[in-house]
Amino acid sequence: MIGELLCNSSKSLLDAMRIINQNAKGLCFVISDHEQLVGILTDGDIRRAILSGVDLNESIECFVSKDFVYAFQNESIDTIVSRLDRKIRIIPIVDTDYRVVDYFEYRQSAHFPVSNPTLSGNEFKYLTDAFFSSWISSTGSYIDQFEDKFSSYSDCVFGVSTSNGTTALHLALMVLNIGPGDEVIVPNLTFASTINSVLHANATPVIVDIEKDSWCINPNEIERAVTTKTKAIIPVHLYGQPSNMRAIMDIADRHNLRVIEDCAEAHGATFQGRKVGGFGDIGCFSFYGNKVITTGEGGMCVTNNPDLDEKMRILRDHGMSKAKRYWHEQIGFNYRLTNLQAAIGLAQLERIEEIHRNRRLYEDAYRKALEGKFCFQKDSVNGSRITWLVSALADSPSSRDSFMEDMHNLGIDVRPFFYPLSEMDIYKKFLRNPAPVSEDISARGFNLPTYESLKSVENIEKILKDFQKI
């Protein structure tokens, strides 16, 4: 970990920013070519430099605080603690040659949120390029690049970026002409945006139960729920797990139904070797801050149908004609993504395979440390899930709640699964048949912190040692 805090004095402010972002400590220890400590640079120092008009490519030598606190490795803890104050919470520890060998950090309460984005690639580079191009709204080269590259990544021909994942779902429903009098089948265990988008389209959601092993929508329950009013199915690839798209598409083909895939939590997941999002008519993704890749807020509709692509682009942009500017042929929406957001998304997409690998390493560490204590999310027989949030089941609701409380006391944000839609007053009337599986899974399920800012398996293992103290 100490190596992640060191920055050579010959490096630029931009280099220091990257180091500080990666170590998540708010500072770096500046060392000479001989590895001797020469100062400390904080994120506040960099902010002040930027506000004064300094070029980020300038060397950090002129901005390093020479008035800093350090300690020798043979000094007592009491002596080191006496040098802490309201501003100083991290003190470098040096040997007699002033080489940094360790650091002391005072934390009143450690905090590990369930998710946190890492912006360690080209995000800042692309964002500043978009900023200085003056194309900061809903037009610009980064939008085109992001749509093209993300749709290709999802094995689809077309990609239409949106302001968020919910508007992506609503846009898909609108271009498929789903509205009043139409029924749309949705799973009982999902985030509210899935059912909300159906209600925003003035259609009627029909809630069905999930499978015990995959936690995704149960094709048998879909079949039971189909009526003459059913027009669409929205399978949700829950917590990175692909739904059984073969069975779902068979049902859709037999009953002439539309399929909108909710892929908000499953960027890159596959079913029978194909990426999710390309099975149905339209696949909808979210790039919210807790997703695999993020644009802060944002979404994407992917499709292989050129007619749907064209309709979505028009409807997304106020229903304005592409041939005649400011001429509106239908009532549309402002569901556009900005060029600034797309710049961040493009940089995130460049690292998506690395992000997937890192998240799975963290999951492997959790599984190893908590082996036998919980039942972790299973891998589908025909699918390849991705690790969005590490997900597991306790033996009972009470043991789940007790575990979560203990974790919160350690500063670790363990989250419960989504509530079943049928348990909420505003949605319960849309449940057609009992849904005992989703009720059971929801009551016992929890998500563990999963994000790259945890940095390494070693850091994860340190957290897990605290877990074992319960």
The Cα 417–Cα 431 span in angstroms is 19
The Cα 299–Cα 403 span in angstroms is 34
**Residue 229 annotated as catalytic:** no
End-to-end alpha-carbon separation of the chain, Å?
26
Number of alpha carbons in the 13 Å side-chain half-sphere of residue 172: 37
Poorest-confidence range of 254-258, 261-265, 323-327? 323-327
User: Residue 169 has what pLDDT?
Assistant: 98
Residue 460: pLDDT over 70? no
- Please name the residues in contact with 433: beta carbons below 8 A apart, sequence gap of 6 or more: 208, 209, 221, 224, 225
Poorest-confidence range of 9-18, 66-75, 392-401? 66-75
The answer to whether 8 touches 16, Cβ cutoff 8 Å, is no
Model confidence at 461, pLDDT cuts 50, 70, 90, reads low
Select the more confidently predicted residue: 452 or 51.
51
Contacts 24+ apart (CB under 8 A), 218-222: 218/187, 218/437, 219/244, 219/247, 219/248, 219/251, 221/433, 221/435, 222/185, 222/248, 222/251
Which of 252, 208, 209, 261 has the alpha carbon at shortest distance from 231? 252
The Cα 226–Cα 258 span in angstroms is 12
pTM recorded for the entire structure: 0.78
Q: Which residues pair with 27 in a beta bridge?
A: 42
In angstroms, what CA-CA distances link 254 with 138, 223, 249, 316, 463?
A: 40, 10, 9, 31, 50
The Cα 122–Cα 104 span in angstroms is 31
User: Residue 411 has what pLDDT?
Assistant: 73
The answer to whether 120 touches 452, Cβ cutoff 8 Å, is yes
pLDDT, average across residues 41-67 = 87
Model confidence at 104, pLDDT cuts 50, 70, 90, reads confident
Model confidence at 281, pLDDT cuts 50, 70, 90, reads very high
Select the more confidently predicted residue: 321 or 421.
421
The answer to whether 168 touches 194, Cβ cutoff 8 Å, is no
User: Residue 95 has what pLDDT?
Assistant: 95
Model confidence at 377, pLDDT cuts 50, 70, 90, reads very high
Token duo for residue 273: 């070797």
Model confidence at 413, pLDDT cuts 50, 70, 90, reads confident
User: Residue 470 has what pLDDT?
Assistant: 46
Phi then psi for 375, rounded to 5 degrees?
A: -100, 110
Residue 108: pLDDT over 50? no
Residue 463: pLDDT over 80? no
The Cα 253–Cα 396 span in angstroms is 39
pLDDT, average across residues 17-33 = 91
pLDDT, average across residues 286-309 = 96
The full set of domains in the chain, from first to last, is 2-105 (3.10.580.10), 123-350 (3.40.640.10), 352-467 (3.90.1150.10)
pLDDT, tens only, 207-258: 999 999 999 999 999 999 999 999 999 999 999 999 999 999 999 999 999 9
Contacts 24+ apart (CB under 8 A), 130-136: 130/339, 130/340, 130/342, 130/343, 131/340, 133/339, 135/339, 136/338, 136/339, 136/340
Which of 160, 156, 201 has the alpha carbon at shortest distance from 317? 160
pLDDT, tens only, 121-161: 899 999 999 989 877 888 889 999 999 999 999 999 999 99
β-strand 71-72 against 90-94: which pairing, if any? parallel
The Cα 343–Cα 132 span in angstroms is 12
Q: Three-state DSSP class for 335?
A: coil
Which of 385, 357, 355 has the alpha carbon at shortest distance from 276? 385
Model confidence at 2, pLDDT cuts 50, 70, 90, reads confident
pLDDT, average across residues 386-414 = 90
Which of 18, 424, 167 has the alpha carbon at shortest distance from 8? 18
User: Residue 88 has what pLDDT?
Assistant: 80
Token duo for residue 20: 């500080």
Residue 275: pLDDT over 90? yes
Q: What SS3 string covers 412-468?
A: ECCEECCCCHHHCCCCHHHECCCCHHHHHHHHHEEEECCCHHHCCHHHHHHHHHHHC
Instruction: Out of 25, 231, 291, 311, pick the active-site residue.
Output: 291
pLDDT, average across residues 379-401 = 95
Phi then psi for 329, rounded to 5 degrees?
A: -100, -10
Helices 123-133 and 141-153: angle between axes, nearest 10 degrees: 140
**Residue 52, Cβ neighbours under 10 Å: how many?**
8
User: Residue 79 has what pLDDT?
Assistant: 85
pLDDT, average across residues 70-78 = 88
pLDDT, average across residues 12-41 = 92
The answer to whether 455 touches 120, Cβ cutoff 8 Å, is no
Select the more confidently predicted residue: 418 or 117.
418
Q: What is the mean pLDDT of the chain?
A: 91
User: Residue 462 has what pLDDT?
Assistant: 67
